[in-house]
Amino acid sequence: FTVWFGYTIHLKIGDKQAIVNNTRQNLITSPLIQNGRTLVPFRFIGEAVQIPVHFLTDPETKKVTHVYYSSSDMKLVLVIGSMLATVNGITVKLDVPPQIIQGSTMIPLRFVSENLGFHLEWNSVDQTIHLQYPGKFAGRGQQTNRCM
């Protein structure tokens, strides 16, 4: 018997509203599909599940150049416009780069969610995304908050 204490997120392509643990939240930019990959707002994903979000800017242009999620045992770094990312210092190739769209930093959802330890389900008929993130959960007397 396991009791779920994690996070559940529901998103829909083109919809600026998300549901996080049964609470509606507004998104600045709606999720979208580009080259067969879903892009979602960077900050929303981290903040929705309480993973610290960070960004670096170019000192001259003040534009965001890098975004990353970090915890005590994980660091995932994405470079705006780059097809390469790093996961705990290991370089990996992306199918679609993170990018700025309508003023929001948009990141490839499947790559990020899988590397942060989410369970992701995609419904192609209604273009909805269901995410589960363990956060802290209890089961068989254990409790954890590991991201991987």
Positive or negative, the Cα torsion across 99, 101, 107, 108? negative
Residue in this structure with the two tokens 């800017």, named with its chain if needed: 57
74-79 β-sheet, strand order: 53-57, 64-71, 74-79, 84-87, 90-93
Q: Which amino acid is at 22?
A: N
* 10 or 72: which leads in pLDDT: 10
Output the pLDDT for position 134.
Answer: 87
Distance CA(64)–CA(96), nearest Å, equals: 17
> Residues 47-87: pLDDT tens digits?
999 999 999 999 999 889 999 999 778 899 999 999 999 99
Question: Could you tell me where the beta strands, DSSP code E, fall in the chain?
Answer: 2-3, 7-12, 17-20, 23-26, 32-34, 37-41, 53-57, 64-71, 74-79, 84-87, 90-93, 99-101, 104-108, 119-123, 128-133, 137-139, 142-144
Query: What predicted TM-score, i.e. pTM, was given to this entire model?
Result: 0.84
| 12-50: pLDDT as tens digits | 999 999 999 999 999 999 999 999 999 999 999 999 999
